[in-house]
Structures are given as structure tokens and as C-alpha cells.
């Protein structure tokens, strides 16, 4: 199909929730580049919104998936699978969690985490169900995760939303403390707010939340769906901050493009789930687990995360230079390869111009440019992006 035909067919048959998408039809990817169906190459600083951590057609992931496709795609969690067991061991050995559960999307992981927090207190005969989350947070699009999300623009069309969520200002420890009541089960935050504008937590804030939760006997949940799996230069952002949650949720980069999500919890919390309490038909199927296992193996290789930190620091430095040079740049923020650039001008317009110049990037809100490149980008790739951005800001 020609590009125009694809776009027209989509408009005719797909629900219009994405409005006008960027006018390109992507066909294949290799390394850190994507190619459209007219053969145009794009340098990718979006990575499918933090999903394609190893870029495209990564040999180890591709080989693993090919092999798994020949063997078994799915057969239900009524049975055991070696690859699922191996993935669980690998995740637990490399995280603060003792047990894991798999789903298919970020929202599903957060739903599961919320259910586990409620069940944890039910087991103790306590009626604690409320979850405190942050304003400007993003936790998903199902009704409960939408209720958890602290942005009315996503919520207002779908009220009434499930009860049991309270939103407080991010990076405001006092606000969190005041919001805790007898009904509070957990505080759930993103260590760096992604969708909400690439807002990093202050270290003292996360440390303070940990202390608040310990004092109140409630759970601390980190939504690491965007920050997890190497994005910040550590396997998890909680390591970057040195603050351990009781439950951590993962999704985006976990399968490098295969849909898989997970939540991990400490044993004393995870033990609250009993047979029959939770399940997912597709969650953790052999194909998805194989993708996640291969992805994690690469990210855990010696030196991989060190390189993410180095390239991230270089990227950050180059962007800081632009911030000095141009009045239209307000601030550069983030960690590792999760970087936001707050602008005085429309971020969407800049992203459109970057696309015209062959570079894919993201926005977060009206005026924040968001970069979530594959973790395998090089300083040369960064130079290419910065050159394009420099040209656009100079206009
Ligand atoms: C993307 C995202 C989600 C939702 O993930 P889905 O797979 O779209 O359901 C939840 N939380 C955070 C922090 C995210 O970035």
C-alpha cells in the first residue's frame, strides 16, 4: 500500500483516539534507525516510548524469538514453562523483589500492584485500600490506573472513576504525609515522572516517602514502567536513588517490543496473594518471557549500563550547551537516557521539525521535549540529534 492509502485506511477503520498521527508509515528497523515504507531513514530518539531499549533487530533478541516461535508461543499458566521460571529467577536476583507476576501492559502491572496492596492489608484484617499518588503522574488507561493517574485531562471523560485514590503534589513530602489516613494502603510514585513532563524526584523525597511508609506501616510502590530496565543507567531507577520500594512495576522496555509487564514484591507482601487471587491469560507466555530474558541478558552484560550512563551524561552536556545558547530552552532534566528539555515554545512543533529532518523524538505535555532513545545509541547519534535541534532552535 502507498503511504496515503495506509493513512486513509486507518482513518476509515481505526477508532480516532490518536487523532492525526505523525504522517509516516513505519516498516522496519535496524539498530537505532527506523525506515518508512518509502525507504526514508529515521534516527530514533523515541524508542517506541521507551520500549525498544535494544533498538531494532537486535541479534540476540531476534534469534531467541525465532527459536521460541518454532517451539511454543502460548499454552496458559495452567502449566509450567522453563523460560518463565528462568526469567523470574533473573528478575528477582537482580532486583529488590522476591516474587514476580507477569502481565501484558503497564496498566495491567499497576492494577496488579494495587490489588496486591489491598490484599496485603485484607490478609491482616485491615480495611486499608486507598493509594496516594502524585499530581502529574501517569499510571495507565484502565479505570483504576486512570483513577491513580494525577491528570484530570485523561480522567474527565470517564467519571465516575473507581474510588480509593488521592493525588498530592510531587516532590512535596508534607503533602504526602498529610494525605495518609487510616484507610491508606500505599503511596505510588514514578521515580521520574515520564508522561507528566520528565520530572525527576528529589532523592530526599523518595527517602522521605520510604520513611513515611515505614512509620505508617503502609506500602511504597514505584511505577518503573518507564524508568525501569536500564533507562536511567541502572537496571532500576530505585537503584539510581538508593531507595527500595515494596512493590515495583515494569513494562515498557522489559520485552524490547514484545508485550510483557511485571510487578515484583517483597515476600512478606507477595505472600498475600493466594491461589485464585490474580491471573492473566497471556501474561508471561513463553514468547514474551523469551523476549524479556534475552533483553535482560544483554542489559545485564558487563559494561552495558556503564555505557548508558556515559552516553546519557554526554547527551545531557550537549543539551545543556543548547540551553545556554538559546533563550527558548528553559531547562534540561532527567537521568541516564531519560531526558526532558523544557522549552518556551511548542514542543510538538519542534518534534514535527525533527521528524522532517529524519529524527524521531517525543513530547511530555505542551512544552517539554522528551528523549527516550534506545539504550544502545552512541555519542555520534547524539551529535546528529543535537545538530538538528540546534538548527531548529536557531530558526
Ligand atoms: C506507559 C506507562 C504506563 C502505562 O503503560 P501501558 O502499557 O500503556 O498500559 C504506566 N505508567 C508509566 C509510568 C508509564 O510510562
Host domain of residue 321? 3-57+302-393
Q: What is the pLDDT of residue 305?
A: 98
In the predicted model, what is the mean pLDDT of residues 317-330?
98
The reply to whether 248 falls in a domain is: yes
- pLDDT-based confidence at 352, cuts 50/70/90? very high
- Neighbour tally for 321: CB within 10 Å: 14
The values of phi and psi at residue 73, to 5°, are -90, -45
Closest-lying ligand 1 atom to the alpha carbon of residue 223: 13
- The answer to whether 252 is a known catalytic residue is yes
Pocket test for ligand 1, best of 188, 252, 262 (most atoms within 8 A of CB): 252
CATH number of the domain within which 14 lies: 3.90.1150.10
Q: Indicate if 229 and 107 belong to the same structural domain.
A: yes
- The answer to whether 66 is a known catalytic residue is no
Q: What is the pLDDT of residue 301?
A: 98
Residue nearest to atom 8 of ligand 1 (CA): 106
Q: What pTM was estimated for this model as a whole?
A: 0.98
The reply to whether 62 falls in a domain is: no
Any ligand 1 atom below 6 A from CB of 336: no
Number of domains in the chain: 2
- pLDDT-based confidence at 53, cuts 50/70/90? very high
Q: Are 212 and 180 in contact (CB under 8 A)?
A: yes
- pLDDT-based confidence at 48, cuts 50/70/90? very high
- The answer to whether 223 is a known catalytic residue is yes
Of 299, 333, 360, the residue that ends a domain is: 299
Any ligand 1 atom below 6 A from CB of 106: yes
- pLDDT-based confidence at 332, cuts 50/70/90? very high
How much is the mean pLDDT over the chain?
A: 98
Q: Indicate if 137 and 188 belong to the same structural domain.
A: yes
What does the pLDDT look like over 124-151, one tens digit per residue? 999 999 999 999 999 999 999 999 999 9
What does the pLDDT look like over 160-194, one tens digit per residue? 999 999 999 999 999 999 999 999 999 999 999 99
Q: Indicate if 116 and 188 belong to the same structural domain.
A: yes
Q: What is the pLDDT of residue 240?
A: 96
Q: What is the pLDDT of residue 116?
A: 98
- pLDDT-based confidence at 202, cuts 50/70/90? very high
Separation of 13 CA from ligand 1 center, angstroms? 25
What does the pLDDT look like over 256-301, one tens digit per residue? 999 999 999 999 999 999 999 999 999 999 999 999 999 999 999 9
Q: Indicate if 96 and 48 belong to the same structural domain.
A: no
- pLDDT-based confidence at 16, cuts 50/70/90? very high
The reply to whether 344 falls in a domain is: yes
Q: Indicate if 246 and 344 belong to the same structural domain.
A: no
- pLDDT-based confidence at 84, cuts 50/70/90? very high
Q: Indicate if 81 and 44 belong to the same structural domain.
A: no
Q: Indicate if 156 and 206 belong to the same structural domain.
A: yes
The reply to whether 374 falls in a domain is: yes
Q: What is the pLDDT of residue 62?
A: 98
Any ligand 1 atom below 6 A from CB of 370: no
- Alpha-carbon distance values, 85 to 8, 80, 271, 288 (Å): 44, 8, 18, 13
SS in 3 state form for 253-271?
HHHECECCEEEEECHHHHC
Of 253, 278, 299, the residue that ends a domain is: 299
- Active-site pick, 44, 223, 234, 246: 223
Q: What is the pLDDT of residue 280?
A: 98
Nearest to 374 by CA among 40, 31, 26: 31
Structural element, H or E, at residue 43 = strand 41-44
The reply to whether 362 falls in a domain is: yes
CATH number of the domain within which 159 lies: 3.40.640.10
What does the pLDDT look like over 226-247, one tens digit per residue? 999 999 999 999 999 999 999 9
Q: Cα(170)–Cα(333) distance, rounded to whole angstroms?
A: 15
Amino acid at each position: 500500500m502507498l503511504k496515503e492509502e495506509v493513512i486513509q485506511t486507518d482513518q476509515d477503520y481505526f477508532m480516532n483516539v490518536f487523532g492525526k498521527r505523525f504522517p509516516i508509515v513505519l516498516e522496519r528497523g535496524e539498530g537505532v534507525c527506523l525506515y518508512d515504507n518509502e525507504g526514508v531513514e529515521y534516527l530514533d530518539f523515541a524508542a517506541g516510548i521507551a520500549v525498544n531499549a535494544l533498538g531494532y533487530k537486535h541479534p540476540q533478541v531476534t534469534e531467541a524469538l525465532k527459536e521460541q516461535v518454532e517451539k511454543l508461543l502460548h499454552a496458559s499458566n495452567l502449566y509450567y514453562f522453563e523460560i518463565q521460571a528462568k526469567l523470574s529467577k533473573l528478575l528477582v536476583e537482580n532486583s529488590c523483589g522476591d516474587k514476580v507476576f507477569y502481565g501484558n501492559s503497564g496498566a495491567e502491572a499497576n492494577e496488579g500492584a494495587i490489588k496486591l496492596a489491598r490484599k496485603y492489608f485484607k490478609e491482616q484484617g485491615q480495611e486499608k485500600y486507598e493509594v496516594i499518588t502524585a499530581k502529574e503522574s501517569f499510571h495507565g488507561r484502565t479505570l483504576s490506573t486512570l483513577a491513580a493517574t494525577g491528570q484530570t485531562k485523561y480522567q474527565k471523560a470517564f467519571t465516575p472513576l473507581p474510588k480509593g485514590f488521592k493525588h498530592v503534589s510531587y516532590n512535596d513530602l508534607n503533602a504526602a504525609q498529610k494525605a495518609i489516613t487510616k484507610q491508606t494502603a500505599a503511596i505510588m510514585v514514578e521515580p521520574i515522572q515520564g508522561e507528566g513532563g520528565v520530572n525527576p524526584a528529589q532523592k530526599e523525597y523518595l527517602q522521605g516517602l520510604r520513611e513515611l511508609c515505614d512509620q505508617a506501616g503502609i506500602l511504597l510502590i514505584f511505577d518503573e514502567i518507564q524508568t525501569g530496565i536500564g533507562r536511567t543507567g541502572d537496571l532500576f531507577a530505585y537503584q539510581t536513588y538508593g531507595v527500595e520500594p515494596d512493590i515495583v512495576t515494569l513494562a515498557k522496555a522489559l520485552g524490547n517490543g514484545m508485550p510483557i509487564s511485571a510487578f515484583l514484591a517483597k515476600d512478606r507482601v507477595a505472600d498475600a496473594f493466594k491461589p485464585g487471587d490474580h491471573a492473566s491469560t497471556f501474561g508471561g507466555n513463553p514468547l514474551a518471557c523469551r523476549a524479556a530474558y534475552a533483553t535482560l541478558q544483554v542489559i545485564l552484560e558487563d559494561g552495558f549500563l556503564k555505557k548508558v550512563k556515559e552516553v546519557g551524561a554526554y547527551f545531557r552536556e550537549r543539551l545543556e550547551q543548547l540551553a545556554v545558547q538559546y533563550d527558548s530552552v528553559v531547562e534540561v532534566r532527567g537521568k541516564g537516557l531519560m531526558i526532558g528539555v523544557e522549552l518556551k515554545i511548542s514542543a510538538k512543533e519542534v518534534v514535527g521539525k525533527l521528524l522532517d529532518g529524519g529524527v524521531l523524538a517525543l513530547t511530555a505535555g505542551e512544552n517539554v521535549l522528551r528523549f527516550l532513545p534506545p539504550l544502545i545509541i552512541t555519542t555520534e547519534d547524539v551529535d546528529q540529534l543535537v545538530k538538528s535541534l540546534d538548527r531548529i532552535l536557531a530558526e
